[in-house]
Amino acid sequence: MDIILMPFAWVIQQFYNLFQNYALAIFLFALVIKVVLFPFSLKGKKGMIQTTMLQGQLQRLQKMYGNNKERYNLEVQKLYEKEKVNPMGGCLWTFIPLIFLMILYPIIREPIHYMMGISDPDTLNAIAQAVNWDTVAVANGWIKEAAATFTETSGYYNQLYLASLITPDNLAAVQAAVGEAGSSIFAINFDLFGLIDLSQIPTLKFWTVPGGFGLFLLPVISAALSLVMSLVSQKTNSFSRQNDQTNNSTMKTMLVIGPLMSLWIGFALPAALCIYWIANSLFSMVQEYLCAILLRKDYAEAQAKREERERQEKEDEKRRKEEARQERIRRIEESKQAAKGKKKTQPKKKESGESGVNKEASRVGIRAYARGRAYAPYRFSPDGPTPYLSETAVDDAAVEKALEEQAEKREKAEFAEKYGLTEEEALEVEKAAQEEAAAAVEETAADGESETTEEETEEL
């Protein structure tokens, strides 16, 4: 872990050596992180623009395949591959500050180890004895009771508190107490404006600790800046601001989550980390403004493309509905013709030549030969077969009706999928087709009555 953290600790130490101010060192560290990651953040913004342009198509896929999650996910994946868009590309960079917060946390928690390079227990115990750790720590409430040595004392932030006790006044005594390792020890200035000790943790009961009100203000300022940063992000991103309700609800959620997370960071972690989070919010505002300027042309092009795509989608939808309506009318006419054909008397097929064979006796419901093709009910008994009485009698008519409804439902689903219609659009098209077909039938009937009247008039 030290291999990863030591380079970042070195950067903070160089800034501290240059300005002799711990808060300013962390502030500049946050600035360096933002500058290094700015090109990637800009790329992430472009990815968000591309993802935003697909919202209309994603909504249509949701309407078409919302009941079939597997099919919906497959179609969404195909859409992303076709448009060459990574849906996570824009969101990934928003979590980068949290990663660096986790990197900065152990560096701030153990400054003697990461900034002074001291981790030997004996050396730490010698430093604790030189600054009278046992008495001061118990008096400040950092520990409940003193242990035999500093390293045996329980406490998560003991090393941070110990570093805060090293001052320019006792620095020489501390260096002398540890011997050769003393050359790397230095006093860290944790004061901010001479009012706030960045080695302490803010608390809601600020009146119980010296300088507590200043510590209490840090999380509040951090939460306020986080809220302002979210509002600035929404305002500068004019293209996303005109998006669907899903994105708008996500933005409203972020307006709440961001400040709450800032409050948690402020009151749960050392005040030095709160300084980093405040700096991150300030630099994020500047970054959003710069991205809005640099991506102004991209936003304009994306807006124009979206308007063109919406226009094209409306035309395609109108064309599909018209084609579907014509197809539905054709199917209705075919169904009517088929129904008329069934009314005509069909020639009876020749029954089986075997004596006593009755084809209708073999039928069960819609199964014509359920009992066999040569079934004869009176072959073995003049009284006929023994009737089978079931506890749950089968209604053949209901079964046949259910099969017809399933077939009709399957036909409607295939029809809607063929023309890319949602369930509501398919019902709308079918209703329009039925109305048009009914109007055509009435018009034909009216023409027939008119011709009949003309013929009667001529006969008279």
Q: Do 54 and 93 fall within a single domain?
A: yes
Q: Are 329 and 441 within 8 A, CB to CB?
A: no
Question: Does any domain span residue 388?
Answer: no
Q: Percent of the chain at pLDDT above 90?
A: 15
Is 364 a member of any domain? no
Query: What pLDDT score does 393 carry?
Result: 55
Backbone torsion region of residue 433, taken as left when φ is above 0, otherwise alpha when ψ lies between -120 and 50, otherwise beta: alpha
Does the pLDDT value for residue 242 go beyond 70?
A: no
Tell whether 32 and 88 lie within a shared domain: yes
Residue 400 lies in a domain: no
**Are both 215 and 251 inside the same structural domain?**
yes
* Whether 215 and 278 share a structural domain: yes
Specify the pLDDT at position 460.
Answer: 39
> Which range (197-201, 357-361, 374-378) has the least confidence?
357-361
Q: 319 and 269, same structural domain?
A: no
248 lies in the same domain as 319: no
Greater model confidence, 231 or 341: 231
Question: In this structure, how many other beta carbons lie within 10 angstroms of the beta carbon of residue 386?
Answer: 7
Of 35-39, 105-109, 262-266, 369-373, minimum mean pLDDT range: 369-373
Q: Are residues 283 and 429 in the same domain?
A: no
With respect to residue 402, please indicate whether it lies within any of the assigned structural domains.
Answer: no
The answer to whether residue 66 sits within a structural domain is yes
Residue range 381-399: average pLDDT?
63
Candidate ranges 68-82, 246-260, 270-284, 432-446; pick with highest mean pLDDT? 270-284
Which of 162 and 431 is assigned the larger pLDDT?
A: 162
Instruction: Provide mean pLDDT across the span 188-199.
Output: 87
Do 223 and 278 share a domain, yes or no? yes
Is 87 contained in some domain?
yes
Confidence label for 195 from pLDDT (cuts 50, 70 and 90): confident
How do residues 138-193 score in pLDDT, each as one tens digit? Answer: 888 888 877 767 877 777 888 999 999 999 999 999 999 888 888 889 999 998 88
If you search the block for the tokens 């079918």, which residue do you land on?
Answer: 430
Q: Does the pLDDT value for residue 423 go beyond 80?
A: no
Are residue 192 and residue 325 in the same domain, yes or no? no
Amino acid sitting at position 249: S
Instruction: Check residue 220 and give its pLDDT.
Output: 93
Residues 199 and 236 in one domain: yes
pLDDT confidence of residue 51: 73
pLDDT for the residue 447: 57
The token duo for 205 is: 């009961």
Query: Is the residue at 213 inside a domain?
Result: yes
Cα separation of 267 and 219, whole Å?
6
Residue 440, domain extent: 315-331+416-452
pLDDT higher than 80, residue 436: no
Q: Do 98 and 194 lie in a common domain? A: yes
Number of domains in the chain: 2
> Residue 326 has what pLDDT?
80
| Assigned domain for 140 exists | no
Least confident of 147-161, 182-196, 250-264, 373-387: 373-387
- In a shared domain, residues 46 and 100: yes
What is the chain's alpha carbon radius of gyration, rounded to the nearest angstrom?
41
Instruction: Answer positive or negative: Cα dihedral of 239, 226, 100, 191.
Output: positive
Query: For the chain, what is the mean pLDDT?
Result: 78
Alpha carbon distance 442, 436 (integer Å): 10
Band the pLDDT of 218: cuts 50, 70, 90.
Answer: very high
* Mean pLDDT comparison of 228-237, 263-272, 354-363, 423-432, highest-scoring range: 263-272
| pLDDT at residue 357 is higher than 60 | no
**Residue 154's pLDDT is what?**
75
